Chain A
Amino acid sequence: MRWLRNLAGTPEGAIGLGILLLLALIALFAPILSPGDPLRIAGQPLLAPFADPSFPLGTDRLGRDVLAGILHGTRTSLAVGIAAALAAIAIGLCIGLTAGLAGGLVDEALMRVVDAFQIVPSFLLALAFVSVIGASVPVVVVAIALGAWADPARLTRAQVLSIRERDYVASARVIGMHPAEIAFRQILPNALPPVLALSAIIVAAAILTEAALSFLGLGDPNVVTWGSMIAEGRNILRSSPSLSIFPGIALVITVIGVYLFSEGLNKVLAGRRSDA
Chain B
Amino acid sequence: MLLIVIILTFLLLESASGDAVDAYLLSIGGGDAIVAKSLRQSYGLDQSMLARLWLYFTSLAKLDLGWSVAFGRPVLDLILERLPNTLLLMGSATALSFGLGSALGIVAGTKPESIRDRTLSAVSLILYAIPSFWLGLVLSIVFAVQLRWLPTSGIETIASGKVGLARTADIVLHLVLPVGTLALIYMALFIRVMRAGMAEAWQLDFVLFARSKGLSRTRIVLRHVARNALLPLVTMLGLQSAAMIGGSVVIESIFAIPGFGRLAQEAVSGRDAPLLMGIIVVSAVLVICVNLIVDLVYTALDPRVGASENRA
Contact = CB atoms under 8 A, between A and B. Distances in A.
Contacts, number: 127
B137 A127 contact: no
A112 B145 contact: no
Nearest to B126: A256
A116 B137 contact: no
Given A127-B264, A132-B12, A251-B134, A121 B4 contact: no
B129 A124 contact: no
Interface residues of B, number: 46
A153 interface: no
Nearest to B246: A123
Interface in A119-138: 119-125, 127-129, 131-133
Interface stretch (B68-76, B95-103, B204-212, B275-283): B275-283
Interface in A139-183: none
Contacts of A132: 12-13, 15-16
A259 B134 contact: no
Given A122-B242, A212-B133, A259 B128 contact: yes
B131 interface: yes
A27 interface: no
B166 interface: no
A238 B145 contact: yes
B243 A123 contact: yes
The main secondary structure of chain B at its interface with chain A is helix
Contacts of B137: 230, 234, 237, 244, 248
Nearest to B265: A216
A113 B9 CA distance: 12
Nearest to B13: A132
B287 A121 contact: yes
Given A119-B5, A132-B13, A215 B133 contact: yes
B250 A118 contact: no
Contact of A237 (B141, B245, B276): B141
**Which of B1, B137, B287 has the most C-beta atoms of chain A within 10 angstroms of its own C-beta?**
B137
Nearest to A213: B250
B221 interface: no
Contacts of B296: none
B249 A216 contact: yes
Given A124-B283, A237-B145, 4 more contacts: A116-B1, A131-B268, A131-B269, A238-B145
